Structures are given as structure tokens and as C-alpha cells.
Structure 1
Amino acid sequence: MSKLQPYDNYQPVQYDYISQLPHDWKLLPNMAIFRERIERGHENEELLSVTIGRGIIKQSELEKKDSSTLDKSKYLLVYPGDLVYSMRFRQGASGYSIHKGIVSPACTVLKPKREIEINPRFFFFMFRTGFYKNYVERFAYGIADGQIPLRYVDFKRMYTIVPPLETQNAIVAYLDRKTKQIQDFIAKKQRLIELLEEQKKSITFNLLTKGIDNVNSEPVKDSWLQEKPVHWKVHRGKSMFKIFGGFAPSDLRILNESEYSQLNAISYYKVDDLNNVDGFLLKPSSWRVNSKKLRTTGKGTILLPKRGAAIMTNKVTQCSDSCVFDSNIMGIKVDNSIVHTDYICLWLKTRNLIELADVTTIPQLNNKHIYPLLISLPDLEEQKRILEYLQEKTNHLGRSVSIAMSEIEKAKEYQESLITQVVTGQLKVPMSELRLEGLLDDRIGINTY
């Protein structure tokens, strides 16, 4: 199919987020398009969730949660064809429902008005665009649990672009098709990354437990190690490193801008920063520790999560400089007369930390899990050879992961740009897209990313 082109004729529009629209498009207040659906008392209906990224899904598709104790009497009824957004609208929590069910009263349910012909999925695409989510901030109020809620009484005063129904249908058919292609591409790249990481982990495990040279092995009384080269020695964690904890939030206070320079480049790590594929996200510190409790790590201190789901990520990193970190993180200082810090850091990344933790309501990892660990080690010279050999063997895997991640980001940016340009009338979707109209009913709601 040829590249999309702009429309032939535009009309000027005096509004904040748009300066022109195709000549037969309208800009209407939301109260002219939607009504708020407030129907309660349907506790036995399917429980639905409004997610960021996946739209509206059944609660059963998420991690299993016990909802038997929830008071559902105030939950809102949702019908297929409704649009729903939550107080996390600004973060992308909105969607088109293909299910009948109930959602949290923290959500707003929108049903299309019968007086105007619309394709609700067009507005699903509109609401997920960055410009519309930014637009929401002007009408949202207050702060609730860190979120900015948008009440219907304010939402209805907002304006939304409304093309002719035939154009809406063509846009929906086109974006359903294109976003599916993009999501399929992203899924393949994500699977590639998983395979590359598994391969890297396998190579690392073999080198850290068997070494480079093919030498005789002997059994070890440890279910994870199983065996080791005969000339390697087995050490307990307690003999190789010292563990210390981070600071509680009460020990920290926010600095204003004038005090920032007094930090002397001390950096702050926290558990919320575990979204960086290479480890913890390093942030310039905006905190100061109470001077009586001021303790900072030294360069090379190993940090790993010690509480919650973050343990499952196996995010282990080293401080590149002195830093402070919060109480959800464990610091490990290594005895470098026995082992290289890089060696232990890789060893911890390879080990499945969640298997060591106390798993109750919230997984916990502490000294009693790390100190007893058995680690088989060669001498320092052989450790260095293993690290160098490992880098040589896995460099290309790391480059491939970086390329795949870059391609995923570009695909997401392209998808966002494409949706925005199409729903705002910057690019024209040809009516030939309606040849897929026979498939449209089956496709509606499937791609609620």
C-alpha cells in the first residue's frame, strides 16, 4: 500500500491541541459524544481491570488475586462497546471493552450517545495518544494515591476530534491492522531478547561453575552447584563478603535546588528504579541523609533487591561511585583478597534469587539467605581469565540485545506517531481500508494493547 498522504482540504481550528482539521471533521465537547454509565449492584459479573498497555482485560488474565473479600457493591457495570478510563488515564489506563463485567469505582465508564453515530474504537485510539493524555492534565484535579483523577464532570467539558463515521471506520480498520503488525514485531523482538539473555545466562553459568579448561570435577554437597573443578575451593558467603542494609525513608529528606551542590555527586538508588535492563537506574540524588546516620557505599559495592517482586528480576548491579540506597535494597561489600567483585556480581545475577527468599505475602531476602551460600572459586588469576573470556564470548549477545531493544523503542515511537497523525487528520486513511469491514466486527477489541 502506498504511503499515507495529507487530506486535500483543511479548516482552521482554534483549540489548544489542534490548529486545523480536514474540512468535514468536527471538534465536539465530550458531553455531545458520551454519557457516563453509572450502574451498580452487579457483584456477580466478571471482574475487569483497566490496565496500562493492555486496555480492558478480565481480572482472571492477571496474576491470581483473591477478590472474594472485595466489596463489589459499588463497582460499575461495563457493557461491550463501552470505553473505560481509570485515574491512571495520564499513564495510559483506558480502553475499549469487549466484555460485560464490573470495574473498580475508581474508573469512569463511558457509553456512546445514540444521538451521534460513532465507532467507539476510534476514540480508544484517540485516548491513548500522548497529546490527549497531556490534555487530560488541564481538567484533572487533586492527587489520589499519587495519581491525578479525571472526573466525568470535567471530562465532559473536554473536546474531542470527530471525523465522519465512514472515516472513523476506515481509521479503525487501518489502525487495528497496523498496530497488530507492530505488536507482532515487538513480541518477536522481546522473545529474541529472552532467548539471547537465556543464552548469555547459560554461558555465564557454565563458566562460573566449570571454568574455561576441561578439567576433572568432583561432586559438591549443594543442589545448585552439584560439582566443581577439583582445584577450586568452596567458600561460604559469610567468609567472602559483608552485607549491610539501606536507609529507611524517614532517614532522608528532600533537598531544594540550592542544596543540591552540597551532595558531592553522591547518588541514590531505590527499588522503583528497577526498570533499567542493565541494572538499577542511577539517578542524581535529590536526597540527603541525616548527618548522624550518614553512611555511603564505596565504589564497587554490589546492590540487589531484598523485598517484593523486584527479587524475581535478578537485578544486581555495582555502584559506580559512592551512593546511598533505601531499605528495600541490600548492599554487599566483597573481600577482594578472595574474589573479584565482578565475579560475585555475575554469580548473583546467574543465581535465581527468588529461590533463596522467604516467600510469604511479600518475598523477603536477607543475610540469612546470602551468608550460607556455597560458592566454588578458582584463584584470583583464573577468575580474571574467566571474566575476560566471558566478556569475549558474550559481547555479541549484549550488542544484539541492545539492537533489539532499540528496534522495540523505535517501533513504539512509530506506532504512537502513526496513531496521532491518523486520528488528528494529519494523514488520510483511504476508504479502501473499508474492504476489511467484513472482518471489523471480529477484530474489534482484540488489540487492546
Structure 2
Amino acid sequence: MTNAHTDLAPAWTTSIPRHWCWMRNKELLFEAQTLSKDGSEELLSVSHLTGVGPRSEKNVTMTEAESLEGYRVVEQGDLVINTMWAWMGALGVARHAGIVSPAYGVYRPRPSAPFGLRFFDYLYRSTEYVMEMTRVSRGIWSSRLRLYPEVFLRMAVPVPPLEEQRAIADYLDRETARIDTLIEEQQRLIEMLRERRSAMITQVATRGLDDAPLIDSGNIYLGDVPAHWKVSRFSREMSVNGGQVDPRDNPWADMVLVAPNHIESGTGRIIGRETARAQGADSGKYLASAGQILYSKIRPALNKVTVATEDCLTSADMYAMSSTHGDDHRYLMYFMLARPFHAFVTLASLRVKMPKVNREELGEAPFLLPPVEEQRRIRAYLDDQTEKIDALITEAVRLIELSHERRSALITAAVTGQVDVRKVV
């Protein structure tokens, strides 16, 4: 292979090895436009995470069209690009024959073209090449960019000899598999830590820290509780704020507005801080005071509960509430995060038309109340223990992020010749 077409070298990568060459995509591929006659072929899905594969094997939530007649036919080895999502990397070389939406681009290797399927699957999906496709895509808004066929086919691509393409793909298969295994291990660790966190909260918030005598409460939902604890109902122990304010008016517009999406599931942490004005709020909101409990009443966010760190507004999808007897609000938060309470309100939310738990149903929720001093000890213990678990989760998440970054950098380096795989053992 010659070093011809060096004038095509784009700015997205450094120089390639001297024995590689630059070619335009149209020299390797042509647009395939065969359409399905009856839509009976297997429907394929294109993902920025997993590339191209059978839709039946992927978790796709979009509704399938009633008829697939006229969908584009894909042969094994075709490059498929979601024209509207190329900027996200929604493309890949098909390992299965099938059909895709007529809005997608399907590109077939030219006969005798030096097109190694696995190598180019890595190259086209590499971070650097996706960024180059984004740069040449057209559209006013970033979320509406489109990579049109004539633009893609004019793009340049580095082409090593076929034997080296296979060696690079083998190298990347091996190395990315190792990284993917590490990522999967960290994901399993995170799941285990979250499970441990939830189990610990449930155990301590509903059973306490001491080896106190247990009694049978006669309530299947609560099971046995320490004999000196109070068994009550939510409506008897909690007062829910009422009355709404207009978030467009002063001083409400500049107050922080908390909605379910600002609370992390199962942890009690607030993960976003924006004012009502910044969120463009224009419908009635509830006032909450610092230290009050904020609880999401909509399914599936019924395990989102926190303690307000400042005076704020809450969306109509939340309850702002306080103990009527001076109980420790962080203990109450932990109790509401415990599995029995979550199970009760979830079941209650299924009994109404809207996917939420209303005040009447919430008011019937059983409530466990240790003496206030014991509540504070439980809260302090759970604060300490959950902080340790959360630190481990944060560390695992960071390792996953670094692994993804290493994976991306490794692929880019290999497909641009910065790693000579012929010298890698």
C-alpha cells in the first residue's frame, strides 16, 4: 500500500505510520439503498454503547413501528449510522443481517476494498472519529445535528494493510476485554455496596442498635420491633406543608427549587441546586424550611427523601413535612428509606389512578419511633456508616470513569497507528 492521499490527512489525528495511507470513505464504501419488501427481516438497533445488533437483544424503550416495510436492508459487514445520532457515536459495523430505519445510513464495503470489519468498527466508533463526524455534521442545534451520506463519504480515514488491520483488531479485542472485565467488576461492587447500604439502613432504622427485647407487633409489614419503641401511623406523627406560592414572584423566584430529579435514589443526598427562576418554574410550588423532610410522592421515585439544607421551594411532586413531636428528622429520613416503608408506599401508589402516593394513603403508613435520644444515636451511626460506604462507591465510580477513558484512548491510539501492535506481546 502506498502513502498516497496524504493531503487528505485531517486535523483530528496526528501523523499515521508511513506504510499506512489516507483514503476517503467513498473509496471503501458505497451507500446501500435496498429496501425491505415486507419487513420480515430481523430488526436491528444502533447504539452508541453496543454498536449494531438485534433489537431483541437490547433494552430499547422506543415503540416499534406497526409496519417495517420499506426499512433499509443491512447485510453482515455493512456500516450502519444513525444519521441523527452520529454525534453520539450511534453507529457500527453490523455483525448480523437485518433491517434498520430508513432514516439511517447503510454503507457497504466495495468489492476488493481494504476494509477489515473489526478494525473499522473500532475506528468509526472511536472518540476522535466521532468528534470529527460531529464537526462535519449539519444542524442548528447540537442535539439536531445530522451526518448526511455525501458528507460522510467525503471524509478521510486512515487505512493500514489488511494484515495489520486484523492484528490491531485482535489487540483491541484482547485489551478492551480486560478493561471491560474490570468495569464489570466495579459495577458489581457498586451494586453490592448499595445493597449493603440499603440493608443496613433497614436493619438499624427498624430494629435499633441495642440488643433490646423484641415483641411481636402483630404487623406483617413491620415484623418485630423493640419493646420500648412506639408503633404509630404516619398521619399521627407527621405534618405536611400546605399552600402554594407562585415561583415567578419575589422572593420565591430566587429560592432553590427541589424536585425529585434533584434527589439521589436511596441515599438522601441532594444532587442539584437551581433556583426556581433558573428552572423556568411557572406553576405553584410549596415552601419548605431548612431541616424539614422532603419526600417524592411519585412512582418510581418513592425512595427519594432528604432533609432540606436551606429554606427552599418544592415541586408539586413532593411533600415537605415535619415531625409533630420533635423527632430527629434525619432518623425519620432513614426510616423512610428503609425497605418496609418503601414497600408500603409503593403498594399504596398502585391502588390509585395516578402513579403516586396520595396523602390519605401515605397517612396510613406504619411508623416506628424510638425515643428521641435513641433516634439521634441511630442517625449518627447511619451517617457515619453510610458515609464510609458512599466513599467506596465514589472510588469505584471514579475507577470506572478512568477505565472508560483508558479504553477510549487505547482504541484511538491503536486505530491511528500510535501503538505498533506488531511489537506488542
TM-score class normalised by the smaller sequence: 0.7 to 0.9
> In the alignment, does 2:86 pair up with 1:70?
no
Structure having greater relative contact order (Cα 8 Å, sep ≥ 6): 1
> In the alignment, does 2:21 pair up with 1:31?
no
Counterpart of 1:256? none
Superposed CA deviations along residues 306-354 of structure 1, whole A, max 9, x for unmatched, are: 556x538x44444433445555x42332226343222232233333465
1:218 to 1:321, Cα distance in 2 relative to 1, 3 A:
same
2 CA distance for matches of 1:66 and 1:365?
Answer: 27
1:70 to 1:143, Cα distance in 2 relative to 1, 3 A:
farther
**Structure 2: where are the runs of 5+ without partners?**
1-5
> In the alignment, does 2:328 pair up with 1:333?
no
2 CA distance for matches of 1:427 and 1:278?
Answer: 46
Counterpart of 1:57? 53
Aligned counterpart for 1:321 among listed residues 310, 323, 342: 310
- Kept in 2: contact 1:267–1:282 (CA 8 A): no
1:163 to 1:284, Cα distance in 2 relative to 1, 3 A:
farther
1:231 to 1:188, Cα distance in 2 relative to 1, 3 A:
same
- Kept in 2: contact 1:246–1:325 (CA 8 A): no
What's the CA shift for 1:361? 11
> In the alignment, does 2:118 pair up with 1:121?
yes
What's the CA shift for 1:278? 7.2
> In the alignment, does 2:342 pair up with 1:342?
no
Amino acid at match of 2:220: S
- Kept in 1: contact 2:13–2:128 (CA 8 A): no
What's the CA shift for 1:213? 1.2
What's the CA shift for 1:383? 0.6
What's the CA shift for 1:67? 6.5
Counterpart of 1:357? 349
- Paired residue secondary structure (2:145): coil
2 CA distance for matches of 1:55 and 1:21?
Answer: 26
Counterpart of 1:408? 400
- Kept in 2: contact 1:13–1:19 (CA 8 A): no
2 CA distance for matches of 1:361 and 1:96?
Answer: 45
Counterpart of 2:127? 130
2 CA distance for matches of 1:89 and 1:72?
Answer: 22
Q: CA RMSD in A?
A: 3.8
The aligned runs of 1:211-230 (5 Å cut-off) are 211-230=208-227
1:69 to 1:134, Cα distance in 2 relative to 1, 3 A:
closer
- Kept in 2: contact 1:84–1:107 (CA 8 A): yes
Superposed CA deviations along residues 335-378 of structure 1, whole A, max 9, x for unmatched, are: 26343222232233333465553399995444454332112111
Counterpart of 1:372? 364
1:276 to 1:165, Cα distance in 2 relative to 1, 3 A:
farther
What's the CA shift for 1:109? 2.2
Q: Normalising by structure 2, report the TM-score.
A: 0.82
Q: Count residues in correspondence.
A: 411
What's the CA shift for 1:220? 3.3
Counterpart of 1:203? 200
The aligned runs of 1:297-316 (5 Å cut-off) are 297-303=288-294, 305-307=296-298, 310-311=300-301, 314-316=303-305
- Kept in 2: contact 1:13–1:21 (CA 8 A): no
Counterpart of 1:442? none
What's the CA shift for 1:302? 4.3
2 CA distance for matches of 1:28 and 1:362?
Answer: 58
1:121 to 1:366, Cα distance in 2 relative to 1, 3 A:
farther
The aligned runs of 1:248-267 (5 Å cut-off) are 264=254, 266=256
1 CA distance for matches of 2:247 and 2:391?
Answer: 38
- Kept in 2: contact 1:357–1:365 (CA 8 A): yes
Amino acid at match of 1:234: V
- Which structure would you say has the larger Rg? 2
Superposed CA deviations along residues 223-246 of structure 1, whole A, max 9, x for unmatched, are: 331221122112322334455799
- Paired residue secondary structure (1:28): strand
- Paired residue secondary structure (1:138): helix
Please identify, of 230-239 and 185-194, the stretch whose mean Cα deviation from structure 2 is larger: 230-239
Counterpart of 1:421? 413
1 CA distance for matches of 2:291 and 2:160?
Answer: 58
1:141 to 1:411, Cα distance in 2 relative to 1, 3 A:
same
Counterpart of 2:77? 81
What's the CA shift for 1:12? 8.4
1:372 to 1:403, Cα distance in 2 relative to 1, 3 A:
same
- Kept in 1: contact 2:201–2:337 (CA 8 A): no
Q: Normalising by structure 1, report the TM-score.
A: 0.78
Q: Percent identity?
A: 28
> In the alignment, does 2:42 pair up with 1:46?
yes
Counterpart of 1:282? 272
- Paired residue secondary structure (2:309): coil
1:85 to 1:206, Cα distance in 2 relative to 1, 3 A:
same
1:276 to 1:288, Cα distance in 2 relative to 1, 3 A:
farther
- Paired residue secondary structure (1:397): helix
